[in-house]
Amino acid sequence: MEDPPRRPGELSFRGRVRLFLGGAAVLGALLLWGLAGLPDYRSFTPLYGQLVNKDAISERSTTAVVTAVNFDYRGFDTLGEEFILFAAVLVLALLLRRLADERRGPLADSPRRVHTTSALVRLTALGLVGPTVLLAVYITAHGHLTPGGGFQGGVIAATALLLVFLGSDYEHVQRLRPKPLVETAKAGGALAFVLIGLAGLIVSGAFLENFLPLGHPGDLVSAGTIPLLSLAVGIEVSGGFVLLLSDFLTQLLVLHRKPDR
């Protein structure tokens, strides 16, 4: 291969390949070393998993042990994760805001208007909006009974907005997501998580302690604070993702760079 002209001190193509092969060999050896030390398939039974599997149902009245770990035993970790997402959405919203050299343009020359969506796609997309929202509510509300929970349900709810966009247009999306409400949901969900945690501190003496009546395992209203925390996460996540998607769409379809003077 012909080497492109290079600046003094820059590696040649062959030098780069050699550097890559050397690094890949070391990385590969380390990976193989680590993989060789792994326990055999299904032979690893950590104590933590055994304990949680044994005690979660009797201790917390929940039939979804993973959710019990996420929102109760390790609820503090989830609090951290929730605020990571909160900060990420916040920063993206900041990046996607209208800049000084951008103006709100007409929608007319947007790509969506040029390529019209077929009636069949529109019909299918709009027909799926209702079931998607229902699924999101179900996944969120049954987080303490079956796999799922606030995070999964929240993202599913936000995808319903995508289906609305696919089935109609930008104006309808904007009408469906009043910005103050979405922002309040996002911040309110995050706040609710902290408040439920603080309530545990006040009532039972420990942050995020499950202080509500546990009820009967398998009932919709059971497991104390677990479904409430899951709901708080669901509201925050759906608000965050809706904000993200609509900011992206606005940036794509409405904002145009001002012509250079």
Interface with another protein by CB under 8 A: which residues?
A: 41, 64, 66-67, 111, 139, 147-149, 151-152, 155-156, 158-159, 162, 241, 244-245, 248-249, 251-252
CA–CA separation, 74 and 208 (whole Å): 9
Q: In this complex, which beta carbon is closest to another protein, that of residue 149 or of residue 167?
A: 149
Q: In this complex, which beta carbon is closest to another protein, that of residue 11 or of residue 24?
A: 24
Q: Which long-range contacts (CB under 8 A, 24 or more apart) does 168-171 make?
A: 168/122, 168/126, 169/112, 170/107, 170/110, 170/112, 170/249, 170/253, 170/254, 171/107
Q: How far is the CB of 152 from another protein (least distance, A)?
A: 4
Q: How far is the CB of 54 from another protein (least distance, A)?
A: 17
Beta pairing partners, 195: none
SS3 track for 93-126: HHHCCCCCCEEECCCCCCHHHHCCCCHHHHHHHH
The DSSP code for 240 is H
Q: In this complex, which beta carbon is closest to another protein, that of residue 200 or of residue 240?
A: 240
Q: In this complex, which beta carbon is closest to another protein, that of residue 90 or of residue 245?
A: 245
182 Cβ contact list (under 8 Å, min separation 6) = 239, 242, 243, 246
Q: How far is the CB of 170 from another protein (least distance, A)?
A: 12
Q: How far is the CB of 59 from another protein (least distance, A)?
A: 19
CA–CA separation, 10 and 7 (whole Å): 6
Q: How far is the CB of 144 from another protein (least distance, A)?
A: 12
Q: In this complex, which beta carbon is closest to another protein, that of residue 93 or of residue 155?
A: 155
